Chains A and B, each alone.
Chain A
Amino acid sequence: MIDMKDVYKRYPNGVTAASGIDIHIKQGEFVYVVGPSGAGKSTFIKMMYREEKPSSGTITIDGVNLATLRNAKVPLMRRKIGVVFQDFKLLQTLTVYENVAFALEVIEEHPKNIKKQVMETLDLVGLKHKARMLPTELSGGEQQRVSIARSIVNSPKVVIADEPTGNLDPDTSWEIMNIFDEINTRGTTVVMATHNKEIVNTIKHRVIAIEGGRIVRDEQRGDYGYES
């Protein structure tokens, strides 16, 4: 599903955020990406949805090489990938329903399908009854669930999450993790950068540890491995 071969990323300011990354992630896998701050996790994640381009090497997602992908084709590739952030990135003036529907509207999905897909997805994240509320009327955990709903509403093959529980309290974090697990069970590949030791050590999945832009550890059912 996701293949990185000898990937380097050097920023113009001289910082090397990835040096020689080789990785293979299979369809349906759940992968944690861990490591200290500034180790290159964010760059690693950003390169997967082509927010950053590698300086050299190849990144293939579902058969498409992101390193050589033309800018005009990026939107089509993005439709196969859902992205979730620590700060939710919701539109405050739109309701929960509208926020999720927005993702389908802007890719010109047929209005008939939009309603059905949005309601099904809101049901999955347990927010069907709050569809008409504004994000400001929701708790942090609920807002993150809206953001997850938006990322999966067009059934992407991969969901990439950058610290999705970073702003949430422990109880809420578990709820969010359960949703990701549910998504993964349905066959979607999940790649999640996280600092949450407890979660990584409890819900066991593959762990990739990055330090200084290199992969220093890659274990099936691994541990967090750092003091948090």
Chain B
Amino acid sequence: MYVTSKEVITAMKARTVGRHFRESFKSLGRNGWMTFASASAVTVTLILVGVFFVIMMNLNMVATTIEEDVEIRVHIDVAANEQDQQVLQQKIEGIPEVKTVEYSTKEKELDSLIDSLGEEGEAFKLFEQDNPLNDVFIVKTKNPEDTMKAAKQIDKMEYAAKVKYGQGQVEKLFNFINAGRNVGLVLIIGLLFTAMFLISNTIKITIMSRRREIEIMRLVGATNSFIRWPFFLEGLWLGLLGSIIPIALVSTAYYYAYDYLAPKLEGHFIKLLEFSPFVYQISGLLILMGALIGVWGSLMSVRKFLKV
């Protein structure tokens, strides 16, 4: 009987799939403590990643809100007539980084100044007869970080009397936000690698006890993918098992934290991400990560036994 490779590679038979599933479950049971240890490693990591992620995403949300508030106020020279203003507006719109240019008359500027000062603002009403303010272009850039660059260009333009965007503070703010994002990213990646390492080690131990089995399988001509499948599934189950507690914990904690914090933050410029869909997204992400680190860990450790 001659078996061609094509016959072997063709779609896996249903009973083979069944066997792989049975074997993977059997192995979970047989290696009870190892299963527990691996799943716990996933659990601990995912809790850390989950909590961290929730904080990161909310800080990011706050950062984005702040970033979006950054704008350039271009005070238009009083000497500029309507046509000069139009030319200036077109020039500003011509800067590639610029998203919107809004025109605000000096009357409107004074109104909003009076509004923002409340009762004390009443005094400024005197100026309504002789408004000392300038007409203003309010410029927003597509990417908040381009604010400085755009501001510099506008500053050189004719009839742009003053260009303000919170010089100094904005640069610091962006530096701070960027540093925060990078640190968070590095920490999350570090955590993931630690988890993969832990899992690949625990699974390696379970595989050591099955060395002979793998050896015999190879000897009698089982294909590598046939040998690998049960381990692949085992890693998958470990990852999924390990993601249950973190999901429950992160969801519950966020539910209460949101309930507690959201009313207190009301009215400030800080806003938290809504429970739904954020928690579902986080849960999906944790399941996915659990599955990935489980599978990766087990495939890494079975690999060295499959060298022909």
Measuring CB to CB, which residues of chain A are less than 8 angstroms from any residue of chain B?
49-50, 71-79, 83, 89, 91, 102-103, 105-108, 111, 150-151, 154-155
Contact = CB atoms under 8 A, between A and B. Distances in A.
Interface of B is mostly: helix
A76 B5 contact: yes
Interface size class of B (residues with CB under 8 A): 20 to 34
Given A50-B308, A74-B308, A106 B215 contact: no
Given A50-B308, A76-B8, A89-B216, A107 B13 contact: no
A67 to B, nearest CB: 13
A73 B13 CA distance: 20
A183 to B, nearest CB: 16
Contacts of A151: 220
Given A91-B216, A155-B1, A106 B15 contact: no
Nearest to B8: A76
Nearest to A83: B219
Interface stretch (B83-91, B103-111, B143-151, B222-230): B222-230
A132 to B, nearest CB: 20
Given A91-B212, A111-B15, A76 B220 contact: no
B212 A75 contact: no
B13 A106 contact: no
B13 A108 contact: yes
A171 B221 CA distance: 32
Contacts, number: 58
B226 A79 contact: no
Residue of B1, B215, B308 with highest tally of chain A CB at under 10 A: B308
B186 interface: no
14 contacts: A71-B308, A72-B224, A74-B308, A75-B8, A76-B221, A79-B220, A89-B212, A91-B216, A103-B216, A106-B222, A107-B221, A111-B15, A150-B220, A154-B220
B16 interface: yes
Nearest to B213: A91
A103 B5 contact: no
B157 interface: no
A83 B220 CA distance: 8
B220 A73 contact: no
Contacts of A74: 308
Contacts of B3: 76, 79
A76 B212 CA distance: 20
Contact of A75 (B4, B15, B216, B221): B221
Contacts of A91: 212-213, 216
